[in-house]
Structure 1
């Protein structure tokens, strides 16, 4: 069981991330429950959006949300039309969307030549170092949300 001290990088289009921010949830890997079960209450999560819309080619390549996962297990949501994705509730920090290019060369996860390859999984562990750098670049205000930056 995850003690709630991890940090995660999730991948989704900015459009989907913005919907989750507005409603206080996260969803990964086309709504699969398994990846969400790896995340613990209190874990930090950052969303990376390669594009504005799913399948888009606009090259957004930005961090689009940052927050802390709330207590509770993944739950099924009726999205209509038979789509019932799993979600986790998240307290999203006030932040600004930030291009990954601003941090290339500083982040542990971008150290390799093909750093984007790991993102195909939709959810990857993130070092505390990277979480803090991204939070700083996004001007994340965790205190406004009553959250601490690290667990």
Structure 2
């Protein structure tokens, strides 16, 4: 994985991250296509979870998963209920997740987090991540 050319950081609650890891996929921005369409096979993919549960305000602020994009193009999953938002057919990408443990934001020194107001860009749900930052996360999060 040292020859990684591109990497991404997705913002997903920890409970949704667990489902994604178990299913070997990622979906972003409530299943919209545009985020996952930016990913390419072989890209590194890290997940930052601001909260433990979706719509919960209690902060977690941890990196919760790492993997590599494993397919060539987005695909649409089976229709699923989004509660009061209705039914959607989310766009996803296959991810080969690595065996890792969570890393609190304060445990990791990344180029991304050194910029002023760096957290504001996380509101987009998907941001480019320096390959060196991905490798730093891999070193901190890998299960020995």
**What is the TM-score normalised by the length of structure 2?**
0.89
Deviation of 1:140 (Å): 5.3
Higher share of residues assigned strand: 2
Aligned partner (choices 114, 118, 138) of residue 141 of structure 2:
138
Structure 2 partner of 1:30: 30
Equivalent residue pairs, number: 136
Shift of 1:80: 2.5
Asked whether the equivalents of residues 93 and 140 of structure 1 are also in contact (C-alpha less than 8 Å), the reply is no
Structure-2 residue corresponding to 1:119? 122
- Quick one: distance in 2 between partners of 1:140 and 1:121? 29
Q: Is residue 89 of structure 1 aligned with residue 88 of structure 2? A: no
Match of 1:13 in 2: 13
Is contact 1:5–1:40 with CA below 8 Å preserved after alignment? no
The unaligned stretches of length 5 or more in structure 1 are 142-151
- Spell out structure 1 runs of 4+ moving beyond 4 A: none
Q: State the partner residue of 1:148.
A: none
Shift of 1:73: 1.0
Higher helix share: 2
The residue number in structure 2 matching 1:80 is 80
Q: How does 1:51-66 map to 2 (within 5 A)?
A: 51-66=51-66
Aligned-residue Cα RMSD (Å) equals 1.4
Per-residue CA distance 1:74-97 (angstroms, 9 max, x = gap): 111124232211000010000001
Does 1:98 find its partner at 2:103? yes
